[in-house]
Amino acid sequence: MKCKPCGATAVIDIPRHRAAFCAGCFSTHCHEQVRRAISSHRMMGHSERILVAISGGKDSLALWHILVALGYQVDGVYLGLGIGDYSDTSRGYAERFAQAHGLTLHVVDIPTEHGFAIPEAARATKRVPCSACGLSKRHLLNRAALDGGYDVLATGHNLDDEAAVLFGNVLQWQVGYLARQRPVLAATDGFARRVKPLIRMGERETAAYCVINRIDYLVDECPMAAGNKHLRYKETLNEMEERSPGVKAAFYLKFLDDMLPVLDGVAEEERALVGVCSRCGAPSSATVCAFCTLVERVAPDPAR
């Protein structure tokens, strides 16, 4: 197997691109995929301050590494979820990466700062952990970006993640969710701009990028992920991809090109509904936002 760009011995093949790459050309290829995603969706500029959400896993660390290599000014933020050893270990990977590369990492620890851990929130709300986790992440990462004066919040959602979410949204015809499933969500009152620069890279590619670039990442999946329906959608899409390489990228990337423009009007309507949370001032269509409602339920403030 020969590297397509340079002819050296290849270390990885990417059937969807009908190409194999040596280590050096693979890193260049990944940088190019991210550069293309950023420029074709006008995600951000080099003069802007970027905050990247870091979990300690392969996607977020690869993203941080690539954005720095592409010359962006990027700090990281790690969110402590209080998921036992998993959280302690993942924080260690995030901190070691930041230290080794001389980068700034902010840490927001939910148990210390908000008085609850994600497993408790799941028990109290009687919903799957990812539900309380997802809403806490959205709220707290956005707040970290706004409070830190960043222009952009970048997350490590990759092609597999986005294709799985799209698959779920299509199965249920969740038109509102489909309209908001964008690689860039523009800044609005109370929301930092959110971008997903890894939409052109699959998770096998982010893992290979980390190995090739000696980025130590947490391999273990979150113990609370069991039963997550997106994992099942990923398996289904992977089976299809094995038989027809490229089908996953076509499903998602063609949605961006051909379907999202049709849904522009729906996105506007959803945005027009937003008001402000009476407790924390975050955008919310209810009097009290979903995060403040969760905190109230799991860790009520005795003074209130």
- For ligand Q46, which residue of 7, 134, 227, 281 counts as binding (CB under 6 A)? 134
In the three-class reduction of DSSP (H, G, I as helix; E, B as strand; rest coil), residue 157 is classed as coil
Q: Which stretch binds ligand Q46 (CB under 6 A): 62-70, 108-116, 223-231, 254-262?
A: 223-231
Query: Could you tell which of ligand Q46, Zn ion, none binds residue 156, using a CB distance below 5 to 8 A set by kind?
Result: none
216 vs 204: CA distance, rounded Å: 15
Instruction: Tell whether residue 224 is a contact of ligand Q46 (CB under 6 A).
Output: yes
In the three-class reduction of DSSP (H, G, I as helix; E, B as strand; rest coil), residue 93 is classed as helix
* CA-based nearest residue to 51, from 25, 72, 27, 82: 72
Instruction: Output Rg (C-alpha) for the chain, integer angstroms.
Output: 20
Query: Do β-strands 152-154 and 184-185 pair in parallel, antiparallel, or remain unpaired?
Result: unpaired
Written as one letter, the residue type at 50 is I
Q: Are 83 and 118 in contact (CB under 8 A)?
A: yes
Beta carbon of residue 229, minimum distance to Zn ion (angstroms, whole number): 27
Instruction: Tell whether residue 140 is a contact of ligand Q46 (CB under 6 A).
Output: no
In the three-class reduction of DSSP (H, G, I as helix; E, B as strand; rest coil), residue 197 is classed as coil
Instruction: Tell whether residue 84 is a contact of ligand Q46 (CB under 6 A).
Output: no
Instruction: Tell whether residue 256 is a contact of ligand Q46 (CB under 6 A).
Output: no
Beta carbon of residue 290, minimum distance to Zn ion (angstroms, whole number): 8
Written as one letter, the residue type at 22 is C
Instruction: Tell whether residue 280 is a contact of Zn ion (CB under 5 A).
Output: yes
E-strand ranges in 81-189 read 105-109, 152-154, 184-185
- For Zn ion, which residue of 289, 294, 295, 298 counts as binding (CB under 5 A)? 289
Instruction: Tell whether residue 1 is a contact of ligand Q46 (CB under 6 A).
Output: no
Select 25 or 164, whichever has its Cβ closest to ligand Q46. Answer: 164
Beta carbon of residue 266, minimum distance to ligand Q46 (angstroms, whole number): 25
Instruction: Tell whether residue 277 is a contact of ligand Q46 (CB under 6 A).
Output: no
Instruction: Tell whether residue 226 is a contact of ligand Q46 (CB under 6 A).
Output: no
Taking CA atoms, 229 is separated from 71, 108, 112, 233, in Å, by: 37, 27, 30, 6
In the three-class reduction of DSSP (H, G, I as helix; E, B as strand; rest coil), residue 72 is classed as coil
Structure token pair of residue 286 = 């209810």
- For Zn ion, which residue of 277, 294, 295, 298 counts as binding (CB under 5 A)? 277
Instruction: Tell whether residue 129 is a contact of ligand Q46 (CB under 6 A).
Output: yes
- For ligand Q46, which residue of 51, 130, 282, 292 counts as binding (CB under 6 A)? 130
Beta carbon of residue 125, minimum distance to Zn ion (angstroms, whole number): 16
Q: Which stretch binds ligand Q46 (CB under 6 A): 21-29, 32-40, 72-80, 220-228?
A: 220-228
Beta carbon of residue 93, minimum distance to ligand Q46 (angstroms, whole number): 14
**Cβ-based neighbour number of residue 262 at 10 Å:** 10
Instruction: Tell whether residue 82 is a contact of ligand Q46 (CB under 6 A).
Output: no
Taking CA atoms, 73 is separated from 77, 105, 119, 149, 243, in Å, by: 14, 13, 34, 13, 40
Could you list the residues that contact Zn ion (CB under 5 A)? 277, 279-280, 282, 289, 292
Q: Which residues bind ligand Q46 (CB under 6 A)?
A: 81, 118, 129-130, 133-134, 222, 224-225, 228
